[in-house]
Amino acid sequence: MKKVMLKSARTLALSALLLGGVSAMPFANNGQAVAQEAAQEEAKPQWPKRTVPQRPKQRPQIMDPRVGAKLNTALELKDEGDVQGAMEELNEILERRRVSSIARARVYMIMANFYYEADDIPNAIANFEKVLEQEDLLYAVEDQVNNALASLYFMQENYEKSLEYLEKWLVYQEVIPNRAYLLKGQALYAMGRFDEAIPQIETVIERTQFEGGEVKESWWLLLRSMYYDKQDYVKVRDILEILITDWPKATYWLQLAAMYSELQQEDLQLATMEVAYKQGFFDKGTHYVNLAQIYLYNEVPWKAAQVMEDGFGKGLIEETEDNLATFAQAYQMAREDAKAVEPLSRAAEMSEDGELYTRLANVHMNLDQWDKAIPALDKAIAKGGLDRVDQTYLLLGMAHFNVDELTKAQEAFREARRDERSRRQAATWLNFLEKEKQRRDKLAKDMREANRILSENQ
């Protein structure tokens, strides 16, 4: 989740950089646009201004007209696509014996812009930092460069330097723009300083709501990620409840259900998953399986079976041993044993041990299909890995008994008797079988004798 947020952060940093003006002509002036924006801002509820330090007044700075001419030449060459020629003009200015600090600052500013537009961020940073080395730098230029360096270092994932320059810029800002809070919050988040990062994003949201603006989905997502990494699942839940209201996407419904589960709010988890299912938000087999398991946990097996059947029918649920076993379990709990046979048979075939074959045998027994229970139990024993093989032999003995195979039943009960835990029950069955055999032998003998007498009297 964090990687996704950082990618968004990089985009926001670029936006901040562009809004800061460093990608355009640094000293360009659009008075009309500024005035219109100011008028629009005045009409909105105003976020309280900060008290900032007052800086000493500066004298007006005048550039040598010859230097100004060479700067214009450099910019014209750049516009014509001759970046090398433009850089040569700029370097000629720097090579002069006497060059004012304002001229040097202007040259380095333009160079930084050239490098930025060429996606050469390290050289853009180097030239912006050279701007800050000049004496008597205009406050506006200093602020603009600090702002730009904060964004550029963020793009380089050097978050400490990004925060360093951002803080220098923030000192003199009466009203901090949202993009600055976002940049600071994401830098702190990337450094793992969640407690400091969260208030930055919350301030953006609170301020936007106060001013009647539109809170962006990405802000809530960023805040959700921060609280998730803090393992504050109550806050994550609260944010997701906002997201499903304003941006009802499938992923938010499913994440909200997961948070309800984490917070042991099972009723809300089930309700949320049901809504997501009915809205058609399930696009993965795991979604169907998870809802089925929730239904089973809440003792609603028939709905669990229906959901599994739907998922299998759409080809979304993978036919794995676990998924098929869950499907069969839902039918068993719903007392639909006949429907459990097919998925349980396939799951048993996939299993590495014989436990599922034992379950399958129990299903056949519930259906009075003793003849089908016997091969299932034989396969269970053959596969092995049984927790209680003695109980499997007990079941096998009962199955043979019910198909009137007393000798095989005795063999099975003798195997069960080897285990101390089943010895008494197996012995009871063996005693019963012995008496039953004796009863049947006597009955057969009596029948033969009766037939003999009847034959003699005819």
Q: Looking at per-residue confidence, does 375 or 71 come out higher?
A: 375
Q: Is the pLDDT of residue 13 over 50?
A: no
Asked if residue 365 is part of any domain, the answer here is no
Instruction: Report in angstroms the alpha-carbon separations of 78 from 25, 63, 154, 357, 449.
Output: 12, 21, 27, 78, 123
Position 35 scores a pLDDT of 56
Cα angle 120, 124, 130 (rounded to 5 degrees) comes to 150
Q: Is the pLDDT of residue 264 over 50?
A: yes
Q: Is the pLDDT of residue 29 over 80?
A: no
Asked if residue 200 is part of any domain, the answer here is yes
Instruction: Report in angstroms the alpha-carbon separations of 48 from 40, 54, 164, 197, 324.
Output: 17, 18, 24, 21, 61
How does residue 78 score in pLDDT terms, banded at 50, 70 and 90?
confident
Say how many domains are in the chain.
2
- In tens, the pLDDT along 401-446 reads 999 999 999 999 999 999 999 999 999 999 999 998 888 888 878 7
> Can you say whether the dihedral through the CA atoms of 47, 50, 54, 58 is positive or negative?
negative
Asked if residue 104 is part of any domain, the answer here is yes
Range of the structural domain that residue 391 is part of: 371-458
The C-alpha atoms of residue 363 and residue 366 are separated, in whole angstroms, by: 5
Q: Is the pLDDT of residue 34 over 60?
A: no
- Name residues whose C-beta falls within 8 Å of residue 164's C-beta, 6 or more positions apart in sequence: 153
How does residue 8 score in pLDDT terms, banded at 50, 70 and 90?
very low
Position 62 scores a pLDDT of 79
Asked which of 76-85, 219-228, 297-306 is least confident by mean pLDDT, the reply is: 76-85
Tokens of 8: 């968004």
pTM of the predicted protein model: 0.73
Position 22 scores a pLDDT of 33
Q: Is the pLDDT of residue 20 over 50?
A: no
Position 17 scores a pLDDT of 39
Burial of 15 (0-12, 13-18, 19+ CB in 10 A): middle
Tokens of 252: 């938010």
Q: Looking at per-residue confidence, does 7 or 235 come out higher?
A: 235
Position 42 scores a pLDDT of 62
- 3-class SS of residue 98: coil
Position 6 scores a pLDDT of 35
Asked if residue 310 is part of any domain, the answer here is no
Tokens of 369: 């299909």
The C-alpha atoms of residue 154 and residue 182 are separated, in whole angstroms, by: 12
Asked which of 26-30, 106-110, 197-201, 415-419 is least confident by mean pLDDT, the reply is: 26-30
Asked if residue 264 is part of any domain, the answer here is no
Per the prediction, the chain carries an average pLDDT of 88
Nearest CA-CA partner of 148 in 112, 173, 202: 112
Q: If you average pLDDT over each of 21-25, 93-97, 418-422, which comes out highest?
A: 418-422
Q: What is the DSSP string of 305-350?
A: HHHHHHHHHTT-S---HHHHHHHHHHHHHTT-HHHHHHHHHHHHHH
Percent of the chain with pLDDT over 70: 90
CATH assignment at residue 187: 1.25.40.10
Q: Is the pLDDT of residue 45 over 90?
A: no
Final residue in a domain of this structure, among 228, 260, 290: 228
Instruction: Summarize the confidence of residues 52-61 as an average pLDDT.
Output: 84
Burial of 217 (0-12, 13-18, 19+ CB in 10 A): middle
Instruction: Summarize the confidence of residues 286-300 as an average pLDDT.
Output: 95
Instruction: Summarize the confidence of residues 24-28 as an average pLDDT.
Output: 34
The C-alpha atoms of residue 382 and residue 377 are separated, in whole angstroms, by: 9
Position 247 scores a pLDDT of 95
Instruction: Summarize the confidence of residues 119-129 as an average pLDDT.
Output: 95
CATH assignment at residue 446: 1.25.40
Asked if residue 86 is part of any domain, the answer here is no
Is residue 185 a contact partner of residue 198, using CB atoms and an 8 Å limit?
yes
Q: Is the pLDDT of residue 109 over 80?
A: yes
Asked if residue 149 is part of any domain, the answer here is yes
Final residue in a domain of this structure, among 194, 228, 262: 228
Percent of the chain with pLDDT over 90: 71
Tally of CA atoms within 13 A in the half-sphere of 120 that contains its CB: 11
Q: Is the pLDDT of residue 66 over 90?
A: no
Asked which of 178-192, 378-392, 438-452 is least confident by mean pLDDT, the reply is: 438-452
The C-alpha atoms of residue 220 and residue 388 are separated, in whole angstroms, by: 53
What angle separates helix 301-313 from helix 285-297, to the nearest 10 degrees?
Answer: 170
Is residue 160 a contact partner of residue 191, using CB atoms and an 8 Å limit?
yes
Q: Is the pLDDT of residue 131 over 60?
A: yes
**Owner of token pair 């060479």:** 70
Position 12 scores a pLDDT of 36
Final residue in a domain of this structure, among 178, 213, 228: 228
Burial of 161 (0-12, 13-18, 19+ CB in 10 A): middle
- In tens, the pLDDT along 346-369 reads 999 999 999 999 999 999 999 999
Asked if residue 14 is part of any domain, the answer here is yes
**Owner of token pair 């809004």:** 19
